[in-house]
Structure 1
Amino acid sequence: MFNAITDVSGIEVGQAENRDALTGCTVIICREGAVVGVDVRGSAPGTRETDLCRPATLVDKAQAILLAGGSAFGLNAAAGVMRYLWERGIGYDVGVTKVPIVPGAVIFDLPLGQVAWPDEAMGYQACQTAGTGEVAQGCVGAGTGASVGKLFGPGQATKSGLGTASIRVGKAIVGALIVVNAFGDVVRPQDNTILAGTRHPLTGRFVNTAREVQKGSGQSILGATNTTIGVVATDADLSVEQANHLAKLAHDGLARTIRPVHTLFDGDTLFALATGKVKGEWHGEILALAAATVDAVERAVLNAVEYATAAGGLPAGKAP
């Protein structure tokens, strides 16, 4: 096992980035399709095809999920993912052709590096690198321009990135891949230590963002400049309702590690994929799957900070 979302049977991950512009995209591919769910929190999401991920829709499977930088501009990278899958005959069969179902979400990384975003070509390039092996973490793919701790503006933030993790649950595996670009701090739940977040303008030390918000500190925040996005996946055979349940509970992993989370200035969005490779009735085991999902998200968020490196004038996520 790679301690990554690719430990889930049927899941591939591909990534591409522009290191000069500090933006990129990550694609999670399930070539045979996977039952999909979604849960959107916060008030500033940037998404596509999320309605199809909910119960009571005609389409219940996705062939890929796109995670990208570039704010709303970055959603265009999904066109490259669709083209890659279409060329290989992968998608929802509509008779005359197959239409790839590619939900997606983006982070706001425009202040870091150049004002640029992933495009169709980068989405296609990410697909070309997709595989089932080890997944690069930190400042790669959609995490290339990610940062956390924006209370005093982007200049006092800390570099973050992308993290992944997996946990075995009986015969099944649950994996998570998270891009951490939060307004709040990333905190180690075991001892409440801030690992990355808002830095004091004079000392460079971390301030407690949640506490400072309660005191009314911080500068005027301009628009929706944050969002944590990601995918949880399992090879258990789940229904659309159960996949959406996992997506909802996965946000508990964010709440454990990001403080504050789901704010007015975050558009936190998590997708869930169930490849169905491990057959059986999962009604009784859904509690175990849900608990493992929360733990996997927690570990993935912490890995996003642990593997991050300094970039764009921001230090890495290590306490000064």
Structure 2
Amino acid sequence: MLNHPASDGEKQARVWWGFSVVTDLEMDLSGVIGFGVELQHLEQKLPWTNLINVLGFGEIILDRKFKVTAIPEGYQLCLVPRKTPAQVQESRALIPENVFSALPGAVFVLDKAGKLCQQNEAAKTLGRIWKGRAYSEGFSLTFPTQPNRFSKLLRAIEDAKKGLGSDLELKLLKPSRVFEYWSASVRPLPEGAGSSSGILIQVFDVSEVKSQVFKTSRENERLRDLALSPSHILRGPLSSIIGLLDLIDAKQLDEENQNLFGYLKPLTKELDRTIRQHAKKMSTFE
């Protein structure tokens, strides 16, 4: 329900709006249609014939063969042909079924024009993730969800039409704010004389592998921090000890303590050198 501003001196009109979406045969959104009726007309429960007159709609009269027989004055009828896709012909299998069923991963096979002609069950499941439902054979692959993340795949398909193969990684952000990852291989199918009969797309889910790699990387970073921590913790007190030893006058010690002092100072310098070397090695750890 929306309040629409009216001209000066008039009350605002309260209009009840209803909206419908327009989709193509692939159920992708093409547009939105809105229809608004003032609330006063709805409250009066006018029949549709009267509502047409109130709203100022025109009407046409058709015969049984749907030919226009009458158009009231003051109205123009505009007919716009609806765009319908070409009749989808049954595509021939580019890969023999016994070979196709043995291919691992989610497998899509496209013809020369880039239309889907073969897919396995894993590919149908993947289509539900990428698009919301399985892809239909005879149509191109589309990506209404986060299309920018699939631009590399679309480019790889165009390259495959020219005979070039590609390997790429795809990722999609889930509603849970976690990424899913796939490794995709796009290859032209040879036909002869250097031309291609179609395109083979194999997709593998590598989300678990990626998750493990990230986890291992984080653990390595923590291990690196833990390995470096002792060096920082020990060097502070050791530097203080070395500084105090430099202040001690060995001549004021008796002979026995002078001998012990002579061992102590080199040991502290050796320990400082060892800690420095350890820190330098750990700083290169990845």
Higher Rg: 2
- Which TM bucket (shorter chain)? under 0.3
TM-score by length of 2: 0.21
Structure with bigger helix share is 2
Higher relative contact order (CA 8 A, sep 6+): 1
